[in-house]
Amino acid sequence: MKVEEYLNGIAEREGTVHLTLIDPASQPPEAAADIAKAAVDGGTDAIMIGGSTGAGGLALDQTLLKIKEHIDVPTILFPGNAGGLSIYADAVLFMSLLNSRDINYVTTNQAMGAPLVYKYGIEPISMAYIITEPGGTVGWVGDAKLIPRNKPELAVAYSLAGKYMGMHYTYLEAGSGADQPVTPATIGAVKHVLGDNKLIVGGGIRDGKTAKICADAGADMIVTGTIVEETDDVRNKIEELVSAIKK
């Protein structure tokens, strides 16, 4: 089954998908595999792999190989640039950062990476990537014109543009480690116009209560990264997040 179908199926049946983001630059491959295994034991639906800085090359390949030795759920690339691709991943969030001022993040990295996606046979999942305040490292690296937290209509405008350009997924990003996630008002307004198109929300989600607020507001998929890197008990933390967002 395609990864996109797998994720959509979970969203339909269980209400919300949980995705665990692992940055291959943050720990050695064995430690990444331990995190991935604990996350799957805790109920996460797939592992996303990527980072804003330094997340490519051998470390990426080795991290994926180690992770795949231990788990069966899909591995999905979340590339910061064309260098964030690996033959060992199942799928890639093939995204355009719609509110970037830098054409490299709107179309150039996509063009440089597309031949590799084709050659490696990785499943591309088309996605509109939209960054709101505070934006964090990814907002800076991607030179995003950050959507103000209190301007849902701007997030709606970009999300609709992505949908009309044929993108299947929309990702509302507050930035890794954000002090607060995207507001429920923004999530709700965007989901309202997306209809059946799937909405991913990430950045600053650290506990079940916050994850549930985002899911109830309209997120189809919740991404957590930083909290998984910081906690001592990954399995327990993922269980908390997953039980809060699933039917």
Ligand X SMILES: O=P(O)(O)OC[C@@H](O)CO
Quick one: which segment of 12-20, 34-42, 118-126, 176-184 binds Mg ion (CB under 5 A)? Answer: 176-184
Asked if residues 36 and 6 have their Cβ atoms less than 8 Å apart, the reply is no
Q: Determine, following the binding rule CB under 6 A, whether residue 107 of this chain makes contact with ligand GRG.
A: no
Binding mask 6-45 for ligand GRG (x = CB under 6 A): ---------------x-x----------------------
**Cα–Cα distance between 17 and 7 in angstroms, integer?**
7
Binding to ligand GRG (CB under 6 A): which residues in 207-246? 225
Output the CA–CA distances (angstroms, integers) from residue 236 to 39, 41, 143, 227, in the order listed.
9, 9, 36, 12
**Cα–Cα distance between 158 and 12 in angstroms, integer?**
24
* Beta strands in the chain, from DSSP E residues, in sequence order: 17-22, 46-49, 75-77, 91-97, 123-131, 169-173, 198-202, 221-224
Q: Determine, following the binding rule CB under 6 A, whether residue 75 of this chain makes contact with ligand GRG.
A: no
Quick one: which segment of 1-9, 36-44, 95-103, 151-159 binds ligand GRG (CB under 6 A)? Answer: 95-103
* Rounded-to-5 percentages of helix, strand, coil across the chain: 45, 20, 35
List the single partner that 204 binds among Mg ion, ligand X, ligand GRG, none, CB under 5 to 8 Å by kind.
ligand X
For residue 25, the minimal CB distance to ligand GRG (Å) is 7
Which residue has tokens 């350009």? 165
Which residue has tokens 């179908």? 5
Binding mask 144-173 for ligand X (x = CB under 6 A): -----------------------------x
Eight-class DSSP state of 82: G
Binding to ligand X (CB under 6 A): which residues in 171-190? 173, 176-178
Q: Which of 4, 23, 220, 239 binds Mg ion (CB under 5 A)?
A: 23
Q: Determine, following the binding rule CB under 6 A, whether residue 21 of this chain makes contact with ligand X.
A: yes
94 - beta bridge partners? 126
Annotated binding residues for Mg(2+) = 23, 52
